[in-house]
Amino acid sequence: MDIVIIGSGNVATVVGRKIRAAGHRIIQVFSRQKDHASILASLLDAKPIHAFDELEKSDVILLAVPDNAYSAIIKELPFMNSLLIHTAGSLPMDILKSRSARYGVLYPLQTLRRELEIIPDLPLLIDANEEKTLLELKTFAAGLSKTVIHANNEARLKYHLAAVIVSNFTNHLFALTEEYCQKEKISFALLQPLMEETVHRLKEDSAAVLQTGPAVRNDTQTLQKHRELLKKYTELLPLYDALTRSIQRGIM
């Protein structure tokens, strides 16, 4: 199929590479920033464009822009006969209905960076405005990922929230811990095997069953020692206390 990609960031780059590897032809890459469009278009062997009146006829138009940019982009898009797809987890499908008779969503449930040399597993959540279009989108998505799930607006938003918690929130804890290690002159890198093993174990059992640590054991002595160490860390201490209470409530 002939594809147009609107966007030039992380999602556009990674999904674009997947699309090209699946044997489709990416004919154009749109971005308001000319250098960004040119870089991605060069990578995908496509033509960079910077205005919607340059859009060529295509089978699919894939919108891969930040969630807060969709409203402005959609207002400028002409009505197209192409299958129009957005890639946002938090936005409803119907934001596209004024611009195409065939529209849907292809949401990659993964954290993506354009610099990735090896693309990780890319579960795709899809939906479409009618059954025929959904089957077309499912076939297209199956060429990009081995995991394709039909998820409506409500389910997709729930997945998006869960993804924020397990990825963004967890990474923020890593960042705060890294800062703590730097200030206390200990090695954050030494924790890497522990972090990897914690995630690896989730393949074997539920997170609740695997929970360990002083909060589970109600080891009040150790918990108090930790709190003493964290007194000067005004962001980390409240999180430590809140998570400790949450873990203890879970085992009562």
Read off the pLDDT of residues 117-132 as tens digits, 9 standing for 90 and up.
Answer: 888 889 999 999 999 9
Instruction: HSE, CB side, 13 Å, CA atoms: give it for residue 90.
Output: 11
Q: What is the pLDDT of residue 238?
A: 96
pTM: 0.91
Average pLDDT over residues 73-78: 93
Read off the pLDDT of residues 240-250 as tens digits, 9 standing for 90 and up.
Answer: 999 999 999 97
Q: What are phi and psi of 220, to 5 degrees?
A: -65, -30
Whether 58 shows a pLDDT value over 70: the answer reads yes
Whether 44 shows a pLDDT value over 80: the answer reads yes
Confidence of residue 251 (pLDDT cuts 50, 70, 90): low
Lay out the sheet containing 47-49: strands in order across. Answer: 47-49, 25-30, 2-6, 60-63, 83-86, 103-108, 124-128, 148-150
Q: Give 148's contacts (C-beta < 8 A, 6+ positions apart).
A: 123, 124, 126, 138, 141, 142
Q: What are phi and psi of 202, to 5 degrees?
A: -65, -15
Strands (E), the chain: 2-6, 25-30, 47-49, 60-63, 83-86, 103-108, 124-128, 148-150
* In the chain, domain spans: 2-151, 157-251
* Interior angle at CA 111, CA 143 and CA 41, nearest 5: 60
CATH of 157-251, one of 1.20.1250.20, 1.10.3720.10, 1.10.1040.20, 1.10.1740.10: 1.10.1040.20
| Chain centre to alpha carbon of residue 37 | 21
Contact 31, 55 (CB under 8 A): no
| Share of residues in the chain with pLDDT > 70 (%) | 99
Per-residue tokens: 68: 């807060």
Rounded CA-CA distance 217/225 in Å is 15
Confidence of residue 17 (pLDDT cuts 50, 70, 90): very high
Q: Give 92's contacts (C-beta < 8 A, 6+ positions apart).
A: 153
What mean pLDDT is reported for the chain? 95
In the CATH hierarchy, which fold is given to the domain comprising 2-151? Rossmann fold (3.40.50)
Q: What is the pLDDT of residue 63?
A: 98
Confidence of residue 237 (pLDDT cuts 50, 70, 90): very high
Whether 159 shows a pLDDT value over 90: the answer reads yes
User: For the ranges 41-45, 113-117, 147-151, 217-221, which has the lowest average pLDDT?
Assistant: 113-117
Beta-bridged to residue 30, according to DSSP, are: 6, 49
Read off the pLDDT of residues 19-40 as tens digits, 9 standing for 90 and up.
Answer: 999 999 999 999 999 999 999 9
Contact 72, 95 (CB under 8 A): no
